[in-house]
Amino acid sequence: MTRFLVAVAIAWAVLSVPLAGFSVAGEALDRIRATGILRAPFPDIWPPAVIQQPNGEIDGYDVEVLREIGRRIGAKVEYVKNSDGSVITWKEKTSGQWQGKYDIVVGGMSPTAERAEHLSFPAIYRYGMGVLAVNQSNSQIKTPADASGKRIGVLKASVHEKYLEREDFGILGMPPITYPIGDPVIVEFDHEEGAYDAVSDGKIDGTINTLPVILELIKQGRPIKIVGQPLYRAPSCIAIVPGDEEFGTLVKKTIDEMRSDGTLMELSLKWYQYDMITP
pLDDT tens-place string over residues 35-69: 999 999 999 888 889 999 999 899 999 999 999 99
Q: What is the mean pLDDT of the chain?
A: 89
CB atoms within 10 A of CB 74: 10
| 140 and 150 Cβ atoms separated by less than 8 Å | no
For the segment 234-244, the average pLDDT, to the nearest whole number, is 92
| 115 and 241 Cβ atoms separated by less than 8 Å | no
CB atoms within 10 A of CB 37: 13
Residues 178-215 have pLDDT tens digits of 899 999 999 999 998 999 999 999 999 999 998 888 99
> What's the rounded Cα separation, in Å, for the pair 108 and 50?
10
The pLDDT of residue 3 is 44
Between 276 and 184, name the one with better pLDDT: 184
Burial of 147 (0-12, 13-18, 19+ CB in 10 A): buried
> What's the rounded Cα separation, in Å, for the pair 59 and 49?
8
pTM of the prediction? 0.71
The pLDDT of residue 172 is 60
Strand partners, 11: none
Range from 72-86, 159-173, 179-193 carrying the lowest mean pLDDT = 159-173
Show the CA angle centred on residue 237, arms to residues 85 and 156, nearest 5°. Answer: 50
For the segment 251-256, the average pLDDT, to the nearest whole number, is 98
Query: Per-residue b/e over 116-128, b at no fewer than 16 CB within 10 Å?
Result: beebbbbbbbbbb
Q: Is the pLDDT of residue 246 over 80?
A: yes
The pLDDT confidence band at residue 173, using thresholds 50, 70 and 90, is: low
> What's the rounded Cα separation, in Å, for the pair 109 and 124?
9
User: What is the 3-state secondary structure of 166-195?
Assistant: CCCCCCCCCCCCCCCCCCCEEEEECCHHHH
Between 278 and 24, name the one with better pLDDT: 278
